[in-house]
Amino acid sequence: MEKMKVLAEWTYTPAPIDKGYTRKTLYVHVGEPRMEIKDVSQDMIDTFTGGRGFDLKLLWAAVKDTTKWNDPENEIVLSGGPLCGITQYPGAGKCYAAFISPLSGQTYDSNSGGYWGPLSKFSGFDAVEIQGKAEKDIILFINGDEGKIQILESNLQDLNAYAVTEALHEYFAVDEADKRNISVVSAGKAAETSYYGCMNMSFYDPRRKVARLKQAGRGGGGSIMRDKKIAALVVKFSKMGGNLNNVVDLDTLQKVGVKLHKEIHDLDDVQCKMRKVGTAHLNEIMDEYHLLPTHNYKFGQNPAEISKIHSAVYERLFTQGMPDGCWYGCSMSCAKAVDGFTVQTGPCKGEKVTVDGPEYETVASLGSNIGVYDPLWTIEANFYADHYGLDTISLGTSLAFVCECYELGLINKEQTNGLDLKFGNKDDIMELIHRMAAGTDEFASIVAKGIRYMKKAFAEKYTADAKTMEAIGMEGQGVETSEYVPKESIAQWGGYYLTLKGPQHDEAWLIFMDMVNKQLPTFEDKAEALHYFPNFRTWFSLVGLCKLPWNDVEPANNRIVNEPKEAAKVPEHVQNYVDIFNAVTGKNIRKEDIITMSEKVYNFQRVFQVRMKQGDASHNIPLRALGPVFPDEWDARKDYYDGKLKEIGIDPAALSTEEKIKKLQEYRLGMWEGLKMAVYKRRGWNKKGIPTVETLKRLGIDYPEVVAVVEKYSKPEDMFE
Amino acid sequence: MRWLKTYVEKCINCGKCMETCSKTYFKEENPALSRVVVTNPGAGQNISVCNQCGACMAVCPTEALYRDKNGVVQLDKSKCTSCLMCVGFCPTGNMLYAASKQTEPFKCVACGLCARACPTQALVLVND
């Protein structure tokens, strides 16, 4: 690759890290261009902790109330958090990105493994904030070794992720061994037309000798990257060490980490098998419980086909015996890969590649949800989604919606420009994905913008029935639902649709607690769970940790020494987090403080959504998420659903299936409203879902500009008694 | 392969091996810093030391653990990130660590000094 032209360059002295913080953030305006290093105040640490908290704090100051996703002042802010980069505890390399999302028009935060988070901190920055738009494709390079920031004019021929990543690891490394000191963030060509473009974050795999990709997939961060004409972000830091965070108590950190390594060594094979199949161990479990999205969430099970996508099939496809952590020290090792995969279609046809994944979400989204039960096809779709810069979840859920619209006759073959988009028609579905990257096909460009956009466009352009699409389009707040059928769990309606940013599985997964173990019988129980779990899980995003080592392995005695409801919290692992947080930062938090730390950021982000939505940050839920919409959907589990009517005192015998569906919908819509109010109340919000001033004061986030938003949009009649 | 063979029935629990080991590598007589670990809980005398099986090499993310020309598993500190996964995954519990001394783990490298110090030949350096 020829030497790239330097468009701008600044030097800096990397700040030393103390107790997990550099106390500096980097700001780069890629349009002007301009660079600034900002100080992190003690108040910023105390209130926002780090990671997503820092992202949102910086983003708040950067945008206006009216900022749209593609306005130059929108930012991509990336931050790890104080624990990010420790090597002693599994899952400590996470990086959190925040921005105003093209899908939802409000803030989104999305996280990724890979080395960007740790290496950018070791290079001197607790957060990296990128604003403005470049005129031509550029690469932002942070050289932590030399204390240099550069904006380079991209001369990359191929802007798709694997090509960009491979070329830049090669370009910036002095030799093969140096490649692991680099991390690249890239999107891809489809992110230029899509609203759900993903950000791929790399790490170099010295055994495979390839750059691997993890994704901050959700919310459209990759779309913003390409809108800003950023071809890639690159960081380089070569002086890797075992205590770069300069922690207070290395001894405790080592002991707690080794304890978890041993636990994973001893128990993973008999628990979740994360080391062998990653999250794809869930495929058949979800199918068994009617939770595996099938044909646009119409069904939750497909007994005739599930064996084709059983985790055992994926275990054979994934290369075994490799240390597949996406940061040093992750013995959970779930970043599985398919090596030597020969691509069958598209621009890479015939090439042998390493494909990262598929993870469970992708097995479902680019599999069962679109009626495809062919792992090799799913692997190829996964490859191209990453390469083109598309979020596999939004892509799959959008495609599922398209297939159902097509089968219902809401759109036709002429409108799809010749594609026969029935469920399972994999050749034409793959062609649609390629057309999204090509960017010249109007229909593909509409699909690439997500379900909320499609509902409007299909109605306006193709006169498709809006009411039907409203019922079956599985989006909330403009964001596509991730891959669990939520219909039968009231708590999970909240876990998906009463979230900060849309139906994503990173806040609460309560289906088993609610439905299978019956641990949340009342609205108050559900509301308590919808307070605790989202806040508990928010904490990972503040400190730079991955959620998986929390409960994808459990101590052998977890369910013996704890009551079932308490066991779901995995108390010993919660204590691990308290111990390692204190060991790194020198603070002295207790487990209760985890929730309070999170509540500060959770509520700040909620006010941020209210601000960006001019007071109307409402939570919507599609009818498909609440229960069956069509008769065949009801009839697939007729006895079960008839039983549900009987439970609420309605005799199904005298009713037609359409009438039964209507009755259940009416009942469940009432339950949804009841749940919503119970949750809002528990969270300290008003009836419109706006945090009260009292809540802001309790959490110490009553900054004048935050209070002003709350006061502007809150009405006395919306207060709870 | 060079490795340290143990004959626990000959061990008199004198502690010479641990003294020698910790002094050689950490300049301090401290059994907690020895790569060979002799314990005597009740009547159950035990000698625990790396058998050079190499299971640790497979889990190391940076290939910092490697087998040298004598078959001994060695740690290249320049590649090590101190993650200690090798500690958690060692089947015999013989990858060790001590935060007070260094961030990296440590293990028996079959140097044989402990065997030389052992008065009863309970430890023998073998090549097979």
pLDDT band (50, 70, 90) for residue A709: very high
pLDDT band (50, 70, 90) for residue A72: very high
pLDDT band (50, 70, 90) for residue A570: very high
User: Is the predicted ipTM greater than 0.90, yes or no?
Assistant: yes
pLDDT at A515: 87
Is A111:A94 a contact under the CB 8 Å cutoff?
yes
pLDDT band (50, 70, 90) for residue A466: very high
Stretch A521-545: mean pLDDT: 96
- Cβ distance of B82 and A206 shorter than 8 Å: no
Residues in A closer than 8 angstroms to B64, CB to CB, are none
Could you tell me the two tokens for A442?
């109007």
Can you give A251-317 as a three-state secondary structure string? HHHHHHHHHHHHHHHHHHHHCCCHHHHHHHHHHHHHHHCCCCCECCCCECCCCCCHHHHCHHHHHHH
pLDDT at A541: 98
Stretch A135-158: mean pLDDT: 98
Could you tell me the two tokens for A329?
């020290």
Stretch A415-429: mean pLDDT: 98
Whole-number Å distance between alpha carbons of A509 and A550: 13
Residue A19: pLDDT over 90: yes
Supply the mean pLDDT for chain A: 97
pLDDT tens string A619-653 = 999 999 999 999 999 999 999 999 999 999 999 99
pLDDT at A721: 87
pLDDT tens string A343-376 = 999 999 999 999 998 999 999 999 999 999 999 9
Is A110:A219 a contact under the CB 8 Å cutoff?
yes
- Cβ distance of B89 and A261 shorter than 8 Å: yes
Whole-number Å distance between alpha carbons of A709 and A606: 11
- Cβ distance of A331 and B103 shorter than 8 Å: no
pLDDT band (50, 70, 90) for residue A176: very high
pLDDT tens string B57-68 = 999 999 999 999
Of the candidates A206, A254, A325, the beta carbon closest to that of B97 is on A254
Residue % of chain A over a pLDDT of 70: 100
Q: Does A87 touch chain B (CB under 8 A)?
A: yes
pLDDT at A516: 85
CA A62 to chain centre: 23
Residue A282: pLDDT over 90: yes
DSSP A512: I
Q: Omega into B41 within 30° of 0, i.e. cis?
A: no
Question: Is the whole model's pTM more than 0.80, yes or no?
Answer: yes
Give the closest-approach CA distance of A664 to chain B in angstroms. 52
Residue A675: pLDDT over 90: yes
Residue A574: pLDDT over 90: yes
pLDDT at A685: 98
pLDDT tens string A26-70 = 999 999 999 999 999 999 999 999 999 999 999 999 999 999 999
Residue A220: pLDDT over 80: yes
Give the closest-approach CA distance of A638 to chain B in angstroms. 50
pLDDT at B44: 85
Q: Does A4 touch chain B (CB under 8 A)?
A: no
pLDDT band (50, 70, 90) for residue A88: very high
Of the candidates B62, B81, B103, the beta carbon closest to that of A250 is on B103
Stretch A426-451: mean pLDDT: 98
